[in-house]
């Protein structure tokens, strides 16, 4: 992450290992069950997207998952929640070690999600958007029975257009607010964020999901930011025109998805707060982590069923998460 010195605007660093994992031989990394370990973090929205897709598609047996803890420093994400502070499969304490095995002298951002080849310990890719798509299109031989179609062919263009706006103004927009180096940069990002949220609220007022009548990638992309909004972005990143709970349509939509298998069961609000308030010392020098907000409200009725829609289309809900991947219950 960085800030442009001239404009004060936040600039997201380029990905350092932007490869693909494909089934057709078009990349150096082939689809192969058991070959890779997904390294994620409960705190990170970019990783959360991949965790949700993996859950919905039923790829737990094909791709194992390691969870980096919420706290880290300039050395990178760290497995401080595991016994001995070491990932039990990769045998490393810091995710940077896997990046440096892939690229000696690695000097770019150490990010999650990252897919690591277990045998070599090398990061195969940290290209989160491509990874998300490839899990849905390249790993089909290992999808569970009843896996939903998150990129329905008839809606690809619309999903792409909606998702692009969400990325720039919402997913990345909250960071543009939080890490702005000037008032002008903050003002610009703030207005873009809430203008986009207003637009999305209008869109969702009469439809249950963003595109078509089922959950698609666009919903996953928006939801991971909404899920963190009141706990982190509203206060920590100064995205404070309204709380999510004060935006009726988006709040009901977010609760609807939270209560859908594969979404709320991937979230750990305490780790989210520990990360944002504990790591971003330039924004929160004291490192004090807030005790609120009340999370039990995520379980209240949302009424979105009245809009129709079929969450998983012709598919079925995923089963509960594996025992070792379960998160603390809300409420």
- Compute CA distances 13 → 78, 108, 137, 200, 256, whole Å: 20, 8, 27, 27, 33
Residue with tokens 């263009």: 157
Model pLDDT for residues 82-137, shown as the tens digit of each residue: 999 999 999 999 999 999 999 999 988 899 999 999 999 999 999 999 999 999 99
* 29 annotated to bind ligand: no
* pTM, entire model: 0.95
- The ranges assigned to domains in the chain are 2-142, 155-313
Question: What is the architecture of the domain spanning 155-313?
Answer: Up-down Bundle (1.20)
Which residues 6+ apart lie within 8 Å of 61 measured at CB? Answer: 33, 142
Over the chain, what HEC string results? CEECCCCCCEECCCCCCCCCEECCCCCCEECCCCCEEEEEECCCHHHHHHHHHHHHHCCCCCCEEEEECCCEECCEEECCCCHHHCCCCCCCCECHHHHHHHCCCCCCCCCCCEEEECCCCCEEECCHHHHHHHHHHCCHHHCCCCCCCCCCHHHHHHHHHHHHHHHHHHHCHHHHHHCCCCHHHHHHHHHHHHHHHHHHHHHHCCCCCCCCCCCCHHHHHHHHHHCCHHHHHHHHCCCCCCCHHHCHHHHHHHHHHHCCCCCHHHCCHHHHHHHHHHHCCCCCCCCCCCCCCCCHHHHCCCCHHHHCCCCCCCCCCCCCCCHHHCCCCCC
Please give the positions annotated as active site: 44, 175
Label residue 10 by pLDDT band (50, 70, 90): low
Q: How much of the chain, in percent, has pLDDT values that exceed 90?
A: 90
Model pLDDT for residues 140-170, shown as the tens digit of each residue: 999 999 999 999 999 999 999 999 999 999 9
2-142 with 155-313: one CATH topology? no
Question: CA angle 326-213-255, nearest 5°?
Answer: 40
User: Which CATH number applies to 2-142?
Assistant: 3.40.30.10
Please determine, for residue 6, whether its predicted confidence score (pLDDT) is greater than 70: no
Question: CA angle 46-48-50, nearest 5°?
Answer: 85
Please determine, for residue 16, whether its predicted confidence score (pLDDT) is greater than 70: yes
Model pLDDT for residues 289-315, shown as the tens digit of each residue: 999 999 999 999 999 999 999 999 999
**pLDDT given for residue 152 in this prediction:** 97
């Amino acid at each position: 992450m960085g800030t442009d010195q001239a404009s004060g605007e936040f600039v997201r660093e380029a990905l350092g290992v932007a490869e693909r994992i494909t089934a057709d031989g078009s990349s150096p990394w082939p689809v192969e069950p058991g070959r890779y370990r997904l390294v994620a973090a409960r705190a990170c929205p970019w990783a959360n997207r991949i965790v949700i897709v993996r859950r919905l598609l039923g790829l737990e047996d094909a791709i194992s998952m390691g969870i980096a803890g919420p706290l880290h420093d300039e050395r990178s994400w760290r497995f401080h929640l595991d016994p001995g502070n070491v990932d039990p499969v990769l045998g490393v304490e810091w995710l940077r070690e896997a990046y440096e095995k892939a690229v000696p002298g690695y000097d770019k951002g150490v990010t999650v999600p990252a897919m690591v080849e277990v045998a070599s310990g090398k990061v195969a890719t940290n290209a989160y958007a491509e990874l998300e798509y490839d899990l849905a299109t390249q790993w089909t031989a290992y999808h569970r029975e009843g896996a939903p179609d998150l990129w329905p062919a008839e809606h690809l263009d619309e999903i792409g257009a909606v998702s692009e706006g969400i990325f720039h103004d919402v997913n990345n927009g909250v960071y543009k607010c939080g890490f702005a180096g000037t008032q002008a940069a903050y003002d610009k990002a703030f207005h873009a964020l809430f203008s986009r949220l207003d637009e999305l609220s209008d869109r969702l007022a009469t439809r249950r999901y963003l595109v078509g009548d089922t959950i698609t990638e666009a919903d996953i992309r928006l939801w991971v930011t909404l899920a963190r909004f009141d706990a982190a972005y509203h206060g920590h990143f100064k995205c404070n025109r309204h709380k999510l709970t004060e935006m009726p349509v988006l709040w009901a939509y977010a609760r609807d998805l939270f209560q859908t298998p594969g979404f709320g069961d991937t979230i750990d609000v305490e780790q989210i707060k520990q990360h944002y308030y504990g790591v971003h010392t330039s924004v929160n020098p004291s490192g004090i982590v807030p005790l609120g907000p009340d999370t039990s409200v995520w379980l209240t009725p949302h009424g979105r069923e009245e809009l129709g829609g079929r969450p998983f289309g012709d598919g079925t809900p995923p089963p509960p998460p594996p025992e070792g991947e379960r998160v603390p219950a809300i409420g």
